[in-house]
């Protein structure tokens, strides 16, 4: 059994439109100029680093943006260029939503329950509806198409469509799996947010993962009642800008790496983990050493926690965590302490970070048996040679910069389409297959 990380390639339309309420990086960089080419190259750099560590790596493709079909549903008529032009003239905010490259954050593509945890032994996916944020609610159709293509073999995989939109579901960003190893039945923790009378007044940030959505995903995946739990995210974490739980906690096999203030009931969560996962290591950052603001600013917990081929664990951290002395100092203590984390790997994904997406946001984890691995459509799996090929397309086709006013430029609309088309072509996808 191996875990494959499927990273979303940053699409050619990557820009800073300030679309995500509650995501502080998105709000504070709204209106800045973006660098799509650099952003995509940074993402490929991270994928190459994973390959170099001996870990299998997968890829999901950028969605078609700007999305004229979605604007058509909102009453803009005509050929694509006419639709986009009218939207820009009449409702530029809608065009900005239709332009977002947010499908890069594939931790939000789906929730994944690997075979050992499910009733039928298959790996189950439920596509996230992402219904809380307008720009992200556009993603699920194309995500469903990609997952059905990548994981088409029904002997190993079951891909469920998105839940009804009234139930906010943000996928694996609010999900953790804890067990002895990837291969063994594990405890699946679904983390939801809830607004209460005290913490949910007007003007506060939305809780994007609803409890009933998490419960529905657990049912769809056929999880045993003793093998999963719904736990509540703390309101102070949401209020501080942890719009997804993966901004304040991450798990891998028997390790839970978390901030002290991640959960509403910390003792209950820790108690459950200790009871269900004998020998679990809980590595916790105390708030008096790393306060929530620092954790969220540096995305310390949005690291990827991975098991290396030799059995040690490594944290794949964003550059921002390296640059904060308090965070880096605490990490040295983590390395020296008695837990499986032995290596720190720093990656530069700054362009994505500026929209609130760290290393862990950019990937969807899928743990599979060797046989199931062999059943994945190989066009979604990477090696160095394919990275070279993707990099060449990005170098040639991705825009270098996008300023906010450029979103109204027909040349940019055209360029984004051509760039994505060139990528699909280079990877062997027929037009219209995705």
Q: Which residues contact ligand SUG (rule: CB under 6 A)? A: 16-20, 23, 26, 100, 102, 105, 107-108, 133, 136, 173, 243-244, 246-247, 355-357, 361
Query: 14, 140, 244, 259: which one is catalytic?
Result: 244
Nearer to ligand SUG, 20 or 233 (CB): 20
Question: What's the closest the beta carbon of residue 230 comes to ligand SUG, in angstroms?
Answer: 19
Please give the DSSP secondary-structure letter assigned to residue 307.
Answer: E
Q: Which are the contacts of 204, defined by CB distance < 8 A and separation ≥ 6?
A: 195, 238, 239
Tell me which residue of 159, 166, 169 sits closest to 128, measured CA to CA.
Answer: 169
Parallel, antiparallel, or unpaired: how do β-strands 2-8 and 57-60 relate?
A: parallel
DSSP 263-302: BTTHHHHHHHHHHHSTT-EEEEE-TTTS-HHHHHHHTGGG
Q: Which of 228, 235, 351, 361 is catalytic?
A: 361
**Nearer to ligand SUG by C-beta: 151 or 299?**
299
344 with 305: CB under 8 angstroms? no
Q: How far is the CB of 305 from ligand SUG (least distance, A)?
A: 14
For residue 7, the minimal CB distance to ligand SUG (Å) is 12
Q: How far is the CB of 242 from ligand SUG (least distance, A)?
A: 9
Q: Which residues pair with 318 in a beta bridge?
A: 347
Nearer to ligand SUG, 280 or 361 (CB): 361
Active site residue 416: no
Pairwise CA distance, residues 381 & 344, whole Å: 25
361 as an active site residue: the answer is: yes
Alpha helices in 100-252 (DSSP H): 134-137, 140-150, 211-220, 235-240
- To the nearest whole angstrom, how small is the minimum distance from the Cβ of residue 137 to ligand SUG? 11
Phi, psi for residue 60 in degrees, rounded to 5: -110, 150
Please say which residue, 57 or 355, places its beta carbon nearer to ligand SUG.
355
Task: Closer to ligand SUG by CB, 57 or 102: give it.
Answer: 102
Supply φ then ψ for residue 416, to 5 degrees.
Answer: -65, -40
- 91 tagged catalytic: no
- Supply the residues annotated as catalytic: 170, 244, 361
């Amino acid at each position: 059994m191996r875990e494959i990380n499927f990273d979303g390639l940053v699409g050619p339309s990557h820009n800073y439109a300030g679309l995500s309420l509650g995501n502080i990086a998105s709000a504070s960089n709204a209106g800045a100029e973006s660098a799509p080419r650099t952003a995509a190259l940074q993402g490929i750099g991270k994928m190459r680093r994973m390959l170099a560590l001996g870990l299998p790596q997968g890829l999901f493709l950028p969605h078609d943006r700007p999305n004229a079909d979605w604007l058509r549903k909102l009453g803009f008529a005509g050929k694509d260029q006419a639709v986009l032009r009218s939207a820009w003239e009449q409702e530029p905010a809608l065009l900005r939503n239709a332009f977002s490259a947010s499908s890069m954050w594939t931790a939000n593509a789906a929730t994944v329950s690997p075979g050992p945890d499910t009733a039928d032994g298959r790996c189950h996916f439920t596509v996230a509806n992402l219904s809380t944020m307008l720009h992200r609610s556009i993603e699920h159709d194309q995500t469903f198409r990609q997952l059905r293509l990548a994981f088409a073999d029904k002997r190993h995989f079951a891909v469920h469509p998105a839940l009804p939109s009234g139930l906010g579901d943000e996928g694996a960003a609010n999900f953790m799996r804890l067990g002895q190893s990837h291969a063994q039945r594990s405890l699946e923790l679904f983390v939801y947010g809830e607004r209460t009378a005290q913490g949910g007044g007007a003007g506060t940030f939305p809780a994007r993962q609803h409890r009933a959505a998490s419960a529905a995903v657990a049912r769809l995946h056929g999880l045993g009642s003793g093998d999963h739990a719904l736990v509540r995210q703390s309101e102070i974490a949401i209020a501080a800008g942890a719009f997804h739980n993966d901004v304040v906690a991450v798990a891998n096999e028997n390790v839970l790496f978390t901030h002290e203030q991640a959960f509403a009931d910390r003792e209950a969560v820790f108690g459950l983990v200790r009871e269900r996962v004998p020998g679990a290591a809980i590595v916790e950052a105390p708030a008096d050493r790393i306060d929530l603001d620092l954790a969220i600013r540096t995305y310390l917990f949005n690291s990827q926690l991975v098991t290396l081929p030799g059995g040690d664990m490594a944290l794949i951290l964003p550059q921002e965590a390296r640059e904060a002395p308090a965070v880096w100092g605490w990490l040295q203590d983590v390395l020296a302490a008695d837990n499986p984390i032995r290596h720190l790997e720093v990656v530069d994904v700054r362009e994505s970070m500026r929209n609130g997406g760290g290393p862990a946001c950019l990937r969807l984890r899928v743990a599979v048996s060797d046989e199931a691995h062999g059943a994945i459509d190989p066009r979604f799996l990477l090696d160095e040679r394919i990275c070279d090929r993707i990099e060449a397309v990005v170098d040639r086709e991705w825009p270098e910069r996008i300023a906010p006013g450029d979103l109204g430029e027909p040349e940019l609309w055209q360029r984004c389409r051509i760039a994505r088309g060139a990528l699909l072509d280079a990877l062997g996808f027929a037009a219209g297959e995705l």
